[in-house]
Chain A
């Protein structure tokens, strides 16, 4: 298995293994190191935007606490992928049952995307945290602290991860490019940073897919972005603007059902696509659509069914398309 390592996705290959390799988030690293020195670890809550190093910090913390074979002391779960709180409970129970041998008297449970749990499930989680304190510590990871219930917040040490600076991202990309022997233009790395908006995972993914072409230039980066996005997104918008609602909806269903994209993913990509050159639109129209995608995103957060909201977006586009041609 080790031999396949060289073909790994770089987002994993270049994930810092130890806290001392983490270059940014200094305050957090200092606090975490202190816990390790004292072997006194509270339950923790890591919050911050995607790609800012929350999961990396949790894994690096585990590595530094237990050593290279840390996996056996760590239970890693992603709340979005667990079937329910009962499954989580079963896994935790199973994992926490056996006492640990070694210098650290407890095990570590990392629960990613904990803010995707309902309030009720979080209540159950809270009780679990209390019940298993003797044998386990929890690291909960979330995008927003506000979506974690108060009782959990008050029982955990809170760490706020901030978006990475432009400099940090670009330095990291350079380091990776150099190690991989990839040629690049400085400008391309800036472009990657801008597109990925401080999300390190996205930035590294983009660097890797761009480098597959050869030398990484800004142009290549944009083309790769175009390749990575399903063509259906653009087609769907064009079809709707041409007044073909049903055809546009077929594309939408393909995206949601076949590609398995969420409504939020789709609307965000439409938002990006709107400002691209593939759609012939006036600047006013671009802004109008961009504004409305925001409205749709808002409605999806409030509503129950993403497809209904996207259907209503397509109906709006049809109307807009007609107004444009009439003008």
Chain B
């Protein structure tokens, strides 16, 4: 294929920005919260006049705002960290836009990008004047941040609707990349798109940039090219040092400082701690204490999510910092290599199986008028039990539920696998009353009568 002709260069991240909500893929939860909030302005000023959208870079924070504005025909007044910094700039440039109505009478969205870049002496008073702006604004103010939990941002968190955007799934990133390749008429290999996704760790913006640079240089996107040209971006997501400091701290301030200085968010840290506590700590007492602390942290996190009250974050940090450090009582510290959380890996590896299980449970749910989680916890185990006592009957029932072969296989899953099919399955004709069984019956009777 020919090398592309020189032409006016448009970055694909601009060319393919979603113009409407329907163009915008993934992040359903964030989409719902933001839409509900934006629409609530139609009925007068809501109690929270600003929203703080947060999440890792390139997951679509700004794009979502633009898609919504595009959909409703709102005007966006946009500023980002490189534009304005200090109190004076906000007073002079943003305040008029926020407090005056538009000429057309249309609503206006004030978009303030990267507010976490707004602390420090160069931007003195910036956060305070933003806070003030929120109290007097007549238009929705939307802020974005990578790390919204910086202590300086607290006053903004308190007055804002908090909206989290997560790292994008491979499926969704690949879908977007593929769509672009089709529109640009560029040949691409699916595997290559997956490589681009994984090296960019769910960052769609940098994925699109990489895609464009490969496609425009070579006219096609292959696995080899992707491997050669895409480098892992230098992200400060290495939690090893933070973990090590947490496990070795003697004083509370040390571990707390390690967490606040870390680029890793508390959610990710909890995941890493959960994986590595049993590796770092060998004494059961210590492991127990550490998991108790993690359990408390998770409860505070739950309260924070449910009530949207970010005061709870301080307690989460207490528990994953000093809570973990102080649980190392008997175990001597040793230098270990921390492991990547297996759960995250497993979720990736078992994706296909889980999708089949989901599709099977959805079919059952539909037929049985229940939720798919009820299908998983009640009907699938019942079918599994039936299969092990009366295979043909169970098969007929599963067919009547319109389940396909691969779905049936997943349902029967490991319980029909090697070790379990050995002795436990029952023969219908051979129903001797085993002594163990009748004892069990009696025990159950007793306990249920108590």
Contacts and interface: CB of A to CB of B under 8 A. Distances in A.
Interface of A: 4-5, 7-9, 11-12, 15, 50, 55, 59, 76, 78, 80-81, 83-86, 112-113, 120-121, 124, 191, 194, 201-202, 205-206, 208-209, 212-215, 217-220, 222-224, 227-231, 243, 245-246, 249, 253-254, 257-262, 265, 275-277, 299, 302-305, 307-309, 311-312, 314-316, 318-319, 322
Given A81-B371, A311-B274, A253 B343 contact: yes
A312 B386 contact: no
Contacts of B437: 219, 222-223
B136 interface: no
B396 interface: yes
Interface of B is mostly: helix
B121 interface: no
B298 A309 contact: yes
A219 B274 contact: no
A259 B411 CA distance: 8
B413 A259 contact: yes
B198 interface: no
Interface of B: 28-29, 31-33, 35-36, 270, 274, 278, 284-285, 287-288, 290-292, 294-295, 297-299, 301-303, 305, 342-343, 346-347, 350, 353-354, 357-358, 361-362, 365, 367-374, 376-379, 381-382, 384-386, 388-390, 393-394, 396-397, 399-401, 413-415, 420, 424-426, 428-429, 431, 433-434, 436-441, 443-444, 447-448
A253 B342 contact: yes
Contacts of A5: 400
Contacts of A112: 369-371
Interface of A is mostly: helix
Nearest to A206: B382
Contact of A12 (B297, B303, B367): B367
18 contacts: A191-B441, A201-B370, A213-B389, A224-B385, A230-B415, A245-B287, A257-B347, A259-B357, A259-B413, A275-B447, A277-B440, A299-B299, A303-B295, A307-B343, A308-B274, A312-B288, A314-B291, A315-B291
B301 A259 contact: no
Given A9-B397, A231-B420, A246-B278, A322 B284 contact: yes
Contacts of B302: 302-305
B315 to A, nearest CB: 13
Contact of B389 (A209, A219, A314): A209
Most A C-beta atoms less than 10 A away, residue of B32, B294, B436? B32
**Nearest 7 A/B pairs, CB to CB:** A212-B390, A312-B291, A228-B385, A4-B400, A304-B302, A312-B295, A7-B396
A224 B29 CA distance: 40
A121 B294 CA distance: 30
Contacts of A224: 385, 389
A260 to B, nearest CB: 5
A117 to B, nearest CB: 11
Nearest to B29: A84
A230 B381 contact: yes
Contacts of B393: 7, 212
Contacts of B365: 78, 81
A108 to B, nearest CB: 14
Contact of B426 (A201, A206, A213): A213
A141 B435 CA distance: 44
A314 B274 CA distance: 12
B20 to A, nearest CB: 14
Given A124-B36, A219-B441, A257-B350, A304 B305 contact: yes
A228 B350 contact: no
A53 to B, nearest CB: 12
A319 B368 contact: no
A264 to B, nearest CB: 9
Given A120-B33, A228-B381, A262 B373 contact: yes
Contact of B288 (A249, A308, A319): A319
A261 B377 contact: yes
A83 B27 CA distance: 11
